[in-house]
């Protein structure tokens, strides 16, 4: 059995300078200007080509652990280890039958939760007369599934393991 070395890993290499890192990052852009990747996200977060330790020196919660104040890494001390992240893509379909088919396919492909989006009239608490003549008529222009009755909800969730599948429904103002 070989003896283990206590020498630091990669000690034979010089530490790269900031200029070395910038040159490597610039090379990865294959001639495109560095400014092309800089800017701000829609949330106002600055984007840079390269981040250094100094860039996060003023961030107050870097040492925060999961389950500890200020809870930027979640409220559970065990993080996602005991309760993994849920995968719940927003699913919107015009009719309850379409929504059920899309939902079953998504769960078969690995989603672990349901994220159901009712159409706007449903979310706003509209009356049945405002929704059209037939229960579950297509409502793609409204951006979600039309839910006129309890039977529509039963149709959407038909064949879904309700005890083992978390369900999220965008309720809208009528839910208040």
What string of H, E and C letters represents the secondary structure of 85-136?
A: CCCCCEECCCCHHHHHHHHHHHHHCCCCCEEECECHHHHCCCCHHHHCCCCC
Counting Cα atoms < 13 Å in the Cβ hemisphere of 50 gives: 16
Structure tokens at 77: 């001390």
- pTM beyond 0.85: the answer is no
pLDDT in tens, 47-69: 888 888 888 899 888 889 989 99
DSSP at 54: G
Write the burial class of residue 114 (CB in 10 Å: 0-12 exposed, 13-18 middle, 19+ buried).
buried
pLDDT digits (tens, 9 = 90+) for 6-32: 677 778 888 889 899 888 888 888 888
Distance from the Cα of residue 98 to its chain's centroid: 23
> CA–CA separation, 104 vs 110, rounded Å?
10
Question: What are the boundaries of each domain within the chain?
Answer: 7-65, 90-175
Q: What is the mean pLDDT of the chain?
A: 83
Q: What is the pLDDT of residues 91-124, one digit of tens each?
A: 778 899 999 999 999 999 999 999 999 988 888 7
């Amino acid at each position: 059995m070989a003896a283990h070395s206590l020498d630091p890993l990669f000690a034979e290499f010089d530490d790269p300078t900031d200029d070395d890192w910038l040159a490597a990052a610039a090379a990865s852009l294959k001639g495109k200007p560095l400014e092309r990747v800089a800017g701000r996200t829609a949330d106002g977060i600055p984007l840079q080509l390269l981040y250094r330790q100094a860039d996060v020196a003023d961030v107050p919660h870097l040492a925060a652990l999961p389950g500890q104040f200020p809870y930027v890494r979640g409220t559970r001390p065990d993080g996602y280890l005991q309760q993994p992240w849920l995968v719940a893509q927003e699913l919107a379909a015009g009719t309850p039958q379409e929504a059920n088919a899309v939902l079953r396919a998504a769960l078969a492909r690995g989603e672990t939760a349901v994220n159901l989006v009712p159409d706007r009239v449903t979310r706003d608490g509209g009356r049945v007369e405002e929704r059209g003549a037939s229960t579950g008529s297509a409502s793609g222009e409204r951006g979600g599934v039309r839910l006129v009755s309890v039977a529509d909800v039963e149709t959407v969730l038909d064949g879904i393991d309700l005890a083992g599948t978390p369900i999220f429904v965008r309720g809208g103002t009528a839910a208040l």
